[in-house]
Copies of this chain bind each other. A is one copy, B any other.
Amino acid sequence: MTDWLTGQVSGAEVVVSERRIGDLAGVFADAEAFARLPADRVVYRTECILGVPPGTVGGLFWGTTFIEPGTVGDEYFMTKGHIHAKPDRMEAYFTFCGAGLLLLMDAERHCRAERMTPGSTHLIPAFTAHRTVNIGEDVFSFGACWPSDAGHAYQAIADAGFAARVVRSQGAPRVVPNESTVCRH
C-alpha cells in the first residue's frame, strides 16, 4: 500500500533505510556547519518494495523517500544523489507532499532543476544524475519506480559532486554553481 497523501509505504515486504548526518560526510559544502550537527540526526529515510533481487533484468522497484526539513549552513537537506550503474536506465519520481527540487545533471555536467510539488511527475532521462532537495519547512516526500537492474553509482557523485548546489538565500531557494567542484576540478 502507498498512502497518496504522505507517501508512506506499508506491507510486510517494505524495507526501511535511513541516512543520517553521519552517513553524509562530504555531501554538503559547509564542513564547519556539518560538523556542528549531531551525527545521528536523520536527513532522509526510504521505504521500499524490492520484490526481486537487485540486478534482475526487467524487474521494477518501488519506494518513497522522505527528506526532513533543514539545512547544513545555507544548503538545504538533500539526498546523496546518484547516477545509475547502468546509466541508460530511467527512473520515475512523483511527489506526495512538501516542496522540493529535483536536481538533474547530464553527462556534460550541465545541471537543471525541476520543482517538485504534490502530484508532479518526473521521468528522469537516461544518462542523468539525480538528487532531490527539500526546500520547504515540512517533510518532503516523493515516490520512485526504477528498474531493478539500474543500480546506484554513488561514487561518481561523491567524487565530483553536482555542478550546482541549492542554497537558502533570503529565505528562498537559489540554485548556485558548486564552488567546491570548481576549486577541485
Q: How many copies does the complex hold?
A: 2
Chain B residues with CB below 8 A from A145, complex form: 60, 92, 145
Q: Is the interface of A mostly helix, strand, loop or mixed?
A: loop
Complex interface bits, A59-84 against B, C-beta within 8 A gives 1, otherwise 0? 11010000000000000000000000
Contacts A96-B4, A147-B147 given: A90-B60 contact, CB under 8 Å? Answer: yes
Would B88 and A58 count as touching, CB distance under 8 A? yes
Number of interface residues of A (CB under 8 A): 35
Chain B minimum-CB-distance residue to A144: B145
Q: Which of B5, B121, B146 contacts A62 (CB 8 A)?
A: B121
Which B residue's beta carbon lies closest to that of A4? B4
A86-B60 in contact (CB<8A):
no
Does A1 make an interface contact (CB < 8 A)? yes
A65 to nearest B CB, angstroms?
A: 15
In the complex, A49 has a CB within 8 A of chain B: yes
Q: Is A118 an interface residue (CB 8 A)?
A: yes
Given A1-B119, A4-B5, A57-B88, 5 other A-B residues pairs in contact with their CB atoms under 8 A = A58-B147, A60-B123, A60-B145, A60-B147, A62-B123
Which 10 A-B residue pairings sit nearest by Cβ, starting from the closest? A4-B4, A58-B88, A145-B145, A58-B89, A60-B90, A1-B119, A2-B121, A51-B123, A59-B90, A92-B145
